[in-house]
Amino acid sequence: MKKLFSLILILTVISISFSQQNEDDINALSIFNEYSKAKNYEAAYGPWMELRNRNPKFHLGIYSEGEKILKYKIKNSVGEEKIAFIRDLIFLYSQRREFFKTKTPMGKFLAKSAKIQYDFRKELNISTLDLFNSYDNAFKSDLKSFNNPVDLLTYFKLAVELFDDGIKTAEELFTKYDEVSEKVESEVENYTVKLNAFLPSDDSMEVTYSKKDAQKIRAYNSYLKGYEQISKGMDISLGIRANCENLVILYQKNYEENKNDGLWLQRAMNRLAGKDCIDTELFVTILQQKNNLDPNPDTSYYLGIIKDREGKTAEALEYYNQAIELQTDGYKKAKILFKIATNFKKSGSFSKARSYYRKALRFNPSMGKCYIAIAQMYASSAKNCGSDNFSQRAVYWLASSEALKASKVDPNLKKAANNSSKNYLAKAPQKSEIFSSGREGELISIGCWIGSSVKVPNL
């Protein structure tokens, strides 16, 4: 009986102690959280550190709010104290991964840690190679959640620095370019598909979105703009290091040992094509080898370009259509269709170009650049597609209308689309001309390849 009483007493003491500790933890969480919400990070630091040291796995808020608190301390400190806070923030990310693994994507938070080191590389005295390795670890550990546009660009720029310092080879640099580009492209496809789900099937339809959906659309467009900037930034960073001459030398040197490696051939083929090295003998060799090993939509498309440049239009079109048929992914199919359309546009085959641009839009309705391209073709044909000066210049109304469609499906093109529209409207008949012509509200038929009509504006 005495033993039972002693056991009950011990359990009661433990229960009271635990309850007291739990209450202390709740109070500390509440205190620092209120301070943090009010952005009084100085006052929040004490109770936050108290709870973090006592019970680091108590609540995720220790880490989400702790990140803000430590960033404030870093900003408002100097010298050794600043360095200590920087190191502690890096450690905080590590702690979060330890205690809240399922809510801490490895790639994302390893990249956060790498970015802190990058931002304070001078204070921490970290080498470029160590910084690159930190980002590389995040990239290789969890590619899915390593998707921040700034981090991806920084990662690649560090590879360029290492190449310039003689630490990375040209092969390593171009491979890293391809790897990061492929990641960017996968993210672009991801957000484009999400965005397209909100677009109407008819580009003339006006749609009103809920507040929640509008926020999603803005977020998707923001990411797409970020990834577009990455691609541009990477090409700027690469510069003349990846000009046609350098690429041919590199791939010629490594061709024999890689000629049975499908991935190497694919990347070499894409890189050479991207730098307009299609006319080189090496490109044809790599293309034919890739086509023999593993024919795919890209090889068919490039074979079409070669036939086009040889003046064999019919054969080129066969390869182009083959590329479209082989591609089953709608987003990728639209990219091929856009490239084909652009080739026709460059050669002056405007009717075929428009047809392929419109096909591209069916698979990717947010591809606003198709509308911009069609508008450009209309504008350049104005003098050839009207019976008199007035009807010729009326084509610019049509071009303006087409350009504005781009801003509806792709807000990132809004500025370019609006500028194009204004430019076309300035070339169309003005109010005084409409008045003097007496053609207000008239429907004008536009001939030649355009085959459409446009209504003269009412005054």
pLDDT tens, position by position, 415-449 = 999 999 999 999 999 998 888 888 888 899 898 99
Measured distance CA(444)–CA(450) in Å, rounded: 12
Confirm if 419 and 436 have CB atoms less than 8 A apart: no
pTM as predicted: 0.84
Instruction: State the average pLDDT over residues 110-132.
Output: 97
What average pLDDT is seen over the chain? 91
Instruction: State the average pLDDT over residues 171-194.
Output: 94
Measured distance CA(68)–CA(262) in Å, rounded: 46
Confirm if 109 and 97 have CB atoms less than 8 A apart: yes
What token pair was written down for 72?
Answer: 């404030």
Least confident of 8-12, 79-83, 253-257: 8-12
Instruction: State the average pLDDT over residues 241-268.
Output: 93
Position with higher pLDDT, 79 vs 10: 79
> Domain map of the chain by residue range?
368-459
Q: Provide the β-strand partners of residue 444.
A: 454
Least confident of 37-51, 190-204, 309-323, 442-456: 190-204
DSSP calls for 297-359: HHHHHHHHHHHHHTT-HHHHHHHHHHHHHH---HHHHHHHHHHHHHHHHHTT-HHHHHHHHHH
Task: Please enumerate in sequence order all residues whose Cβ is within 8 A of that of 241, keeping only pairs 6 or more positions apart, or say none.
Answer: 160, 163, 170, 173
Measured distance CA(391)–CA(411) in Å, rounded: 31
Give me the pLDDT at residue 459, please: 76
- When pLDDT is cut at 50, 70 and 90, the band that residue 159 belongs to is very high
Cα dihedral sign, 95-98-99-105: positive
Measured distance CA(350)–CA(327) in Å, rounded: 24
pLDDT tens, position by position, 311-328 = 898 899 999 999 999 999
Q: 333-363 b/e with 16+ CB inside 10 Å = b? A: bbbbbbbbbbbbbeeebbebbbebbebbbeb
- Which amino acid would we find at residue 51? L
- When pLDDT is cut at 50, 70 and 90, the band that residue 205 belongs to is low
Task: Please enumerate in sequence order all residues whose Cβ is within 8 A of that of 228, keeping only pairs 6 or more positions apart, or say none.
Answer: 188, 412
| Strand 443-446 versus strand 452-455 pairing type | antiparallel
